[in-house]
Structure 1
Amino acid sequence: METALRKLQRKSLKYKMVGMSFQNAPVLVTGGAGFIGANFVLDWFETVGTPLVNLDKLTYAGNPLTLESLKDNPNYTFIHGDICDADLLKRLFAEHRFRAVIHFAAESHVDRSILGPKVFFDTNIGGTHQLLNAAREFYETLTGDERSAFRFHHISTDEVYGTLEPNDPAFSETTQYAPNSPYAASKAASDHLVRAWHHTYGLPTTITNCSNNYGPYHFPEKLIPLILLNAMAGKPLPVYGDGLQVRDWLFVQDHCSAVRAVLERGKPGETYNVGGCNQRANIDVVKTICALLDELLPDSQNVPHSKLITHVQDRPGHDRRYAIDATKIETELNWKPAESFESGLRKTVEWYLANQAWVQGVTSGDYRKWIEQNYSAREVQK
């Protein structure tokens, strides 16, 4: 069997032999087997198509089956590895001479960060540090057009800004950071590292802070897929507290197009907020999913699915409201979301109904164990 390193060397030689320009050199995507990363990789080959290397550790939320359609694509390379591995990163940059880094890799679930914060600090802070170092060392070897073209793009979250009161203005790029969970704190730290590597070392970085993503291939511990799959199975639909926590919902393919816009037209050193312009209370999201399932599965014994809604004890430090002001990316980069919440959610529900094999593949024993750990001790609220 060909080793991963030999595969890298062979592909690198191919790039040199055909005389590819740097603009057609590979991009590195970290965390490209996770929810947003995998959607980005699939979107990349539908819209751009140039070589892409996907580096993913394949933790519980990384699913290579999501990218099965790319297995025979000569422009796609998957590397099973960790962004905390400095030696691996150095080899990857040397072999592939990436023209850009798109950094999705992160531990991302607030509930998991509450139960076990260390891995969030190791990956989100330590891993980002190692990736920035590798990118900086490579960037310092570049000259001319290659140096001008190189970009390091970091994907972050609106949770770094903290929480909003009902009448507060939406988060802008100048909103002061005030993270309230271990997850948010780890992402805030990684944002600060990226900014520091730009201002101190001149690395051409950009950052996007996005609102809550949803769509196909979402790991079913997050709100929308959890509610959807529980409802289909006739299980309780756990809603934290009163369910009036408000989030701005962004269809994942709109997020992908925003990242490409920043990669192509964004200014180094800048941050761009990406939102779906769809603020919804969690309870309203759950009720909308129930109504869609009533429509699409009229013969289900669980109709009306809303009868399964169960309010449970809220999680510690639960932020009340997030909202994104996306004016900057809309005006400077001419980007807007293509999907409304209604159209995006319908596409999401229809995708899950049509892809039960994928769902069964990710809802393993480990997943069921996590759901039991997170929800079994929460008291049901009357």
Structure 2
Amino acid sequence: MKILVTGGAGFIGSAVVRHIIKNTSDAVVNVDKLTYAGNLDSLAEVSGSPQYAFEQVDICDRAAVERVFREHQPDAVMHLAAESHVDRSIDGPVAFIETNIVGTYVLLEVARKYWKDQESGRQEAFRFHHISTDEVYGDLEDPAALFVESTPYAPSSPYSASKASSDHLVRAWRRTYGLPTIITNCSNNYGPYHFPEKLIPLMILNALEGKPLPVYGKGEQVRDWLYVEDHARALYKVVTSGVVGETYNIGGHNEKRNIDVVRTLCALLEELAPNKPAGVARYEDLITNVQDRPGHDLRYAIDASKIQNELGWAPEETFESGIRKTVAWYLGHLEWTQRVQDGSYQRERLGVNKA
């Protein structure tokens, strides 16, 4: 099978590409605009594979997307390309509207035309897998409640609203045109190659530099944490075995308050990086409470029983095992983080493996 992965140079997308190349015989066409969050360094271990091809394309560029479909003839699409940082969506929502809504529309239309033109066997086998977020559901007031696939949408930020919009478009293209779509909604991911603006890598790298560890409010926001490689396995399971028209929630069964996540990171760094920056007695002393962001959801938590019961997927990592692997990875890959922080990963894009 040949799978077209949009956003394949991003955090989750690159994990999906690495998983497919390393664990299956399928081919991957990575379609990525290479915005600030797209990093080809994250694909260095698989970019030389004959199973891999790269196309630097903006999904809003219909002519370019049509060319990619025409030249590569994919059997499935895994759509991960998205602007995803909530704070950035509050400061500048336009990019989120353009990429997450307009880009998804363009991709759906190109995929629909391509799918309609296929012979019956390929048409029946084709899949359009849209990867979304649990943030479309808003937050949970009941401390015992969980998000299920039928939970009503109530997005709080420009980011989550744009993702909710894209989910609705995907369902509409399924119902109106018959395009064989599947949707997944995931909880917070963490793990290797995570862009340093996100909570866990930001805390690790700030701590190593002796900088403040900014925590919104009192850090009482609860998130369900999912190790990114577990998520990649789930996504491949869905695109290959999921039922057309269905939605699957993917979670890690690891609810943690943000402040507890940060304290766990500090404790691991005390063990794994005991030589602290000058003037720092304990990493935990760097924790700094800052003003909460507008519209901050208090709690997300996913019921992932459907994908477990119907497709046989379950996370392999506990939060304790996954977070230890994550800290160890960052400590062992400081060159990768340095290239992100100094911008050199963006400047050195000559000679990439383009199809």
- Asked whether the two chains share a fold, i.e. TM above 0.5, the reply is yes
Q: Give me the whole-angstrom Cα distance separating, in 2, the residues matched to 1:168 and 1:295.
A: 34
Tell me the CA shift for residue 75 of structure 1: 1.6
Residue aligning to 2:120: 144
Which deviations, in whole Å up to 9, do the C-alpha atoms of 1:322-368 show, x marking residues without a partner? 0000011110111100000000000000000000110001113699x
Name the residue aligned to 1:9: none
Q: Which residue does the alignment assign to 1:180?
A: 156
- Counterpart mapping for 1:294-333 below 5 A: 294-301=270-277, 302-333=280-311
Q: Which residue of 2 aligns with 1:205?
A: 181
Query: CA, structure 1 residues 269+357, in 2 after alignment: closer, same or farther (shift >3 Å)?
Result: same
Q: Is the 8 A contact 2:190 2:326 kept in 1?
A: yes
**1:294·1:303 contact (CA, 8 Å) conserved in 2?**
no
CA spacing shift, 1:166–1:283, aligned 2, 3 Å: farther
Three-state SS of the structure 1 residue aligned to 2:238 is helix
Q: Name the amino acid aligned to 1:347.
A: K
Q: TM-score, normalised by structure 2?
A: 0.95
Conserved 8 A contact 2:129-2:183: yes
CA change 1:80–1:365 in 2 (3 A) is closer
Answer yes or no: is the 8 Å Cα contact 2:57–2:65 preserved in 1.
no
Paired with 2:274 and 2:83, the residues of 1 have a C-alpha distance of 37
Runs of 5+ unmatched residues, structure 1: 1-23, 368-382
> 2:79: which partner in 1?
103
Percent identical across equivalent pairs? 60
What is the TM-score when the length of structure 1 is the normalising length? Answer: 0.88
The reply to whether residue 232 of structure 1 matches residue 208 of structure 2 is: yes
Matching residue of 1:31: 7
Where does the alignment leave 5 or more consecutive residues of structure 2 unmatched?
346-355
CA contact (8 A) 2:5 2:77 kept: yes
Matches within 5 A, 1:220-369: 220-301=196-277, 302-364=280-342
Structure 2 counterpart of 1:167, which letter? P
Q: What's the offset of the Cα at 1:71?
A: 3.1
> 1:65: Cα distance to partner?
1.2
Tell me what 2:136 maps to: 160
* CA-CA distance at 1:143 after TM superposition: 2.4
Query: Which structure is higher in RCO with an 8 Å CA cutoff and minimum separation 6?
Result: 2
Q: Name which of structure 1's ranges 140-149 and 325-334 shifts more when overlaid on structure 2.
A: 140-149
Maintained 8 Å contact 1:158/1:324: yes
Alignment partners' CA distance in 2, 1:124 and 1:345: 29
Q: RMSD of the TM alignment (CA)? A: 1.3
1:82 aligns with 2:58: yes
Corresponding letter in the other structure for 1:344: G
The residue aligned with 1:12 is none
Maintained 8 Å contact 1:166/1:321? no
How far off its partner does 1:288 sit? 0.0
Query: What is the Cα deviation at residue 67 of structure 1?
Result: 1.1
**What secondary structure sits across from 2:44 in the alignment?**
helix
Q: Distance in 2 between matches of 1:366 and 1:92?
A: 28
Aligned positions, number? 343
Question: What is the rounded CA distance, in whole Å, between the counterparts of 2:183 and 2:342 in structure 1?
Answer: 34
> Contact 2:15 / 2:228 at 8 angstroms: preserved in 1?
yes
Looking at structure 1, the residues matched to 117 and 192 of structure 2 have their Cα atoms a distance apart, in angstroms, of: 39
Q: What letter corresponds to residue 336 of structure 1 in structure 2?
A: A
- Measured in 1, the distance between the counterparts of 2:186 and 2:111 equals 23
8 Å contact from structure 2 (residues 132, 184) kept in 1: yes
- In 1, Cα distance between equivalents of 2:191 and 2:160: 22
CA displacement at 1:72 relative to structure 2: 2.1
Change over 3 Å in CA distance of 1:318–1:238 after alignment to 2: same
Partner Cα separation in structure 1 for residue 276 and residue 293 of structure 2: 31
Residues 185 and 86 from structure 1, CA distance in 2 versus in 1: closer, same or farther, beyond 3 angstroms?
A: same
AA partner of residue 311 (structure 2): L
What is the rounded CA distance, in whole Å, between the counterparts of 1:236 and 1:168 in structure 2? 33
Relative distance call for 1:244 and 1:366 in structure 2 (3 A) is: farther
How far does the alpha carbon of each residue in 1:290-319 deviate from its partner, in whole angstroms, 9 at most, with x for none? Answer: 000001112324342000000000000000
In the TM superposition, what is the alpha-carbon distance from 1:144 to its structure 2 partner? 2.6
User: Is the 2:19–2:232 Cα contact (8 Å) retained in structure 1?
Assistant: yes
Superposition deviation, residue 73 in structure 1: 1.4
> How many Å separate the matches in 2 of 1:366 and 1:212?
27
For the 8 Å contact 2:210–2:276, the answer to whether it is kept is no
